[in-house]
Structure 1
Amino acid sequence: MLKVISDEADFIVAVKPAGLSFHSEQGAGFVALLEAQQAYKLYPVHRLDKVTSGLIVLAKSSQAAASLTELFSNRLVDKFYLAITEGKPKKKQGWIKGDMSASRRGTYKLEKTSNNPAVTRFYSTSLGEGLRGVILKPFSGKTHQLRVAMKSISSPILGDTAYTSSPSDRVYLHAFALSFQWQRQDKYFSYLPESGKEFNKLVTTDAFQQWKAPLNLDW
């Protein structure tokens, strides 16, 4: 049973588990499973990587989908992610900016140029044992953007072996919160990760007590 955290007139907000493909591949993907569960057609307006868990907005009509897609495309949706990273980062907070280019085996790398850059801002806190808890806000929408960003500062996301991290029980990246305006109303949704023992360490930190209201942070 997939979790739906909000059922609005024009859209629903649901939680994608880590490891479940967004679109159907060998088996039914997240969207197909959710449509079967809800018993009506849904229209995706953004997506998450297979390895990433967290919040997804799906429209209930093509008209709502067009409007919501425009919000996401025009960067009018604030998105916040939680991650656990390993290794000593080159910096503990701030901006990560640069063009992204294709690398090997379906991965990407961050370049030093900034013609059409991926832009991310983050804060982090030590969890001990070589791990850090991180909250990230992307200011652009590139494929693998956050995974590439953390790899570029020598602190890849735990479990993300494609980006040189150690294997773990999951890839520790979670779409934690979304904020946008819909029909002149402010909408805010958040949901903590359900899987991953290392996430349990993050949510008990002093830093997370500030992060759990991400709109109040200085972005």
Structure 2
Amino acid sequence: MSERSSVEQINGAFMREAASAPAVVEKKVERQTERLRFEVGPESERQRLDEFLAARIGWLSRLRIAKLIAAGACLVNGEAANSGQRLRRGDVVLFEPGEWIPNAATPEPAPLEIVHEDEDLLVLIKPAGMLVHPTRNVKTGTLANALAFHLNQRRGTATDGETSEPALVRPGLVHRLDRATSGLMVVAKNQRALSALATHFQRRLVKKRYLALVHGQVDRDEMVICAPIGRDEEARPKWRVMQGGKEAETRLRVVRKEGSWTLVELEPVTGRTNQLRIHCAHIGHPIVGDDWYGPADQTSRLCLHAAELGFHHPRDGRWVEFRTPLPSDIVEIMELFTSE
């Protein structure tokens, strides 16, 4: 099957779902101090109770909601409920969420550099130093939190003490960048776009190119780095080139050489953890600012930037492509190295 026919097949499924998707949103939700009240609209007929609540309570995971339901924190029409219970139009759902704990869907206002946005997706430039998703130790200040705020800031308008509130829009993180890496990312705004884009990424129908400042002068103008990457629990860092690792391939092209550094373009054919950093170090040219795989230096950041991103739009299959120049802090590091 050709790439074009494959994309058309994926996007065809997307459009069929879009055509049949309900256009109506939930009718009402009344927020109380300790209990949330929802009235089920016709669009949620036959929906599972846990799915219904997860779409409307952004600060709780579906697993946490299921546990609370099992513990008796939810009533449907005044009676005890279970997670798999199918809802009917007009049902009244009362839910006590308990203690508030921030997570990936907790909205937090933060500046976002958005370069494109439409009804299905947005493309933005993630700054260096920002986590894409909360971790065990970091629960706030991530890109996911900022996106949750951006996508839901217009939800609900107060009228007579009640709030008209549609289902929560959850950011669909199709791919990720390391915390230290800056650059372009695409984020799905609905489940259909997320499914289509995830399939595109999985089938390698997406164009991803990075710019990296590396130590030393790379001799060859172009090369393909093929070195398997695996996880060694005894080593630090754990991810490295090793026998028995998974196949990993990176295409490298020299953009500019100057003194003690080289600016290269990197295209990851595969998507292993820390692949670009590991492969550059493997050929003897670690990325500037990489304290894991390269020498310690005084630079302010890892000099790796996702500069190009291209993909087939999930709604109609057209090819869209985005480019962003090197950020100013990497340019300043290049100038500093040149002057030495």
Indicate whether the TM-score tops 0.5. Answer: yes
After TM superposition, the structure 1 = structure 2 runs for residues 21-170 of structure 1, keeping only pairs within 5 Å, are 21-25=131-135, 26=138, 27-39=140-152, 40-89=169-218, 91-103=220-232, 104-111=235-242, 116-167=246-297, 168-170=299-301
Name 1:213's counterpart in structure 2: none
Q: Which runs of 5+ in 1 are unaligned?
A: 203-219
Of the three residues 192, 201, 209, the one matched with 2:325 is 192
2:183·2:324 contact (CA, 8 Å) conserved in 1?
yes
Identity of aligned residues (%): 29
Q: Structure 2 regions of 5+ residues with no counterpart? A: 1-110, 153-168, 336-340
Q: Pick one of 5, 8, 12 that aligns with 2:122.
A: 12
Letter of the 1:24 counterpart: P
Higher relative contact order (Cα pairs below 8 Å, separated by 6+ residues): 1
Counterparts of 1:180 and 1:197 in 2: how far apart (Å)? Answer: 26
Deviates more, 1:1-10 or 1:26-35: 26-35
Which AA in structure 1 matches 2:279? A
Q: More displaced, 83-92 or 71-80?
A: 83-92
State the Cα distance separating 1:92 from its structure 2 match: 4.2
Give, in whole Å, the separation in 1 of the partners of 2:228 and 2:206: 22
Query: Contact 1:84–1:199 at 8 Å: present in 2 too?
Result: no
How many residues matched? 201
What do the CA deviations read for 1:160-186 (whole angstroms, capped 9, x no partner)?
010023331110001111112222211
Q: Which residue identity does 1:20 align to in structure 2?
A: M
| Counterpart-to-counterpart distance in 1, 2:296 and 2:257 | 16
How many angstroms apart in 1 are the aligned matches of 2:198 and 2:322?
Answer: 17
- Counterpart AA for 1:190: R
Deviates more, 1:8-17 or 1:102-111: 102-111
Find the aligned partners of 1:10 and 1:126 in 2 and give their Cα distance.
37
Larger Rg: 2
**TM-score normalised by structure 1 residue count:** 0.83
Distance change >3 Å, CA 148–CA 90, structure 1 → 2: farther
Deviation at 1:136, TM superposition (A): 0.7
CA distance in 2 between counterparts of 1:162 and 1:107 reads 10
Match of 2:311 in 1: 180
Contact 1:84 1:198 in 2 (8 A): no
Name the SS of the counterpart of 1:161 in structure 2. Answer: coil
Which secondary structure does the structure 1 equivalent of 2:292 belong to? helix
CA 1:92–1:156: 2 relative to 1, 3 Å: farther
Whole-angstrom CA distance in 2 between matches of 1:3 and 1:36: 14
Judged with a 3 Å threshold, the aligned counterparts in structure 2 of structure 1 residues 90 and 100 are, in CA distance, closer, same or farther, namely: farther
Structure 1 position 201, deviation (Å): 4.9
Normalised by the size of structure 2, how large is the TM-score? 0.55
Q: Is the 8 A contact 1:123 1:135 kept in 2?
A: yes
How far apart in 2 are the matches of 1:110 and 1:92?
Answer: 23
Offset of residue 126 of structure 1 = 4.3
* SS across alignment from 1:49: coil
